[in-house]
Amino acid sequence: MTEKEKCEAGILYNANYDQQLISERMACKDLCLEYNQLKNSDTRNRNELIKRILGSTKENICIEPSFWCDYGYNIEVGENFYANHNLTILDCAKVKFGDNAFIGPNCSFYTAGHPLDAKQRNEGLEYARPITIGDNVWLGGNVVVLPGVTIGNNAVIGAGSVVTKDIPDNAVAVGNPCKVIKNIEEN
């Protein structure tokens, strides 16, 4: 089993010393650098390049520079996706955003985690768990979403939150660790 296959299976794999994964990350980061250096007014090339980087997109998406990810092909974004400046997605596993996702500045999505055992960590082993963000979700600035988290439809995550566990539909959640503080009622 290759290291990439181990990653996809959700088991410990070696990302630091596997040439295939290193090569894929380097190619993606080169594209991210190119994207981040384009003029903001060069919308045609920005749109074409971001669609080359990401695994799956709808038509209406906007990611403000700077944007960084590991592989790109594991990221899916829905229609009307907007991410403000300094978006980081460590997409060792799938990261899926629904339609009408609104991501504040300085947000980070980490699918990668590391063993608690120092020997395993020092060998370069890690694991990856997918992240799913539902439709109509708003994340305030400086939100961090950790491996394996699902944020439900219509949820709002307050600025500065660290989301360590799933958040249900129609919830307002804040804090570190992020916790639901109220439900959103339909008007």
Give the mean pLDDT of 158-187: 95
- 111 is a domain residue: yes
Distances (CA, A) of 97 to 38, 82, 124: 24, 10, 29
- Which of 56, 125, 146, 128 is closest to 92 using CA atoms? 128
- 163 is a domain residue: no
Render pLDDT for 14-38 as a digit per residue (tens, 0 to 9): 998 899 999 999 999 999 999 999 9
- 174 is a domain residue: no
Which CATH number fits the domain that encloses residue 121?
2.160.10.10
- In this predicted structure, which of 105-109, 122-126, 149-153 has the lowest mean pLDDT? 122-126
Render pLDDT for 68-78 as a digit per residue (tens, 0 to 9): 999 999 999 99
* CB atoms inside a 10 Å sphere around CB 182: 11
Tally of domains in the chain:
1
Exactly one of 4, 29, 114, 129 is catalytic; which is it? 114
Please give the model's pTM, rounded to 2 decimal places: 0.95
- 79 is a domain residue: yes
85 annotated active-site: no
> Phi and psi (nearest 5°) for 44?
-60, -50
99: helix, strand or coil: coil
- Which of 59, 99, 96, 60 is closest to 78 using CA atoms? 99
Task: Report helix angle 19-37 to 43-53, nearest 10.
Answer: 170
Domain span at 21: 3-151
For strand 150-151 and strand 112-113, is the pairing parallel, antiparallel, or unpaired? unpaired
Specify the pLDDT at position 187: 59
For strand 112-113 and strand 125-128, is the pairing parallel, antiparallel, or unpaired? antiparallel
